[in-house]
Amino acid sequence: MVNLSKIELTKKGQSINLTKSQHQGIGEILVNLNWNQQSVKPSGGFLSSLFGTKARSGIDLDLGCLYELTDGSKSCVQALGNAFGKLHSPPFVELDGDDRTGMVSGGENLRINGDKVKDIKRVLVYAFIYEGVANWSEADGI
pLDDT tens-digit profile of 22-68?
Answer: 556 788 999 999 887 765 554 555 555 555 544 446 899 999 999 99
pLDDT tens-digit profile of 84-136?
Answer: 999 999 999 999 999 887 788 888 999 999 999 999 999 999 999 999 999 98
Angle subtended at Cα 105 by Cα 25 and Cα 142, rounded to the nearest 5 degrees: 70
Q: Is residue 15 within 8 Å of residue 8, measured between CB atoms?
A: yes
d(CA 18, CA 133): 35
The radius of gyration of the chain from alpha carbons, rounded to an integer in Å, stands at 19
Pairing of strands 28-33, 60-69: unpaired
Could you tell me the pTM of the whole model?
A: 0.71
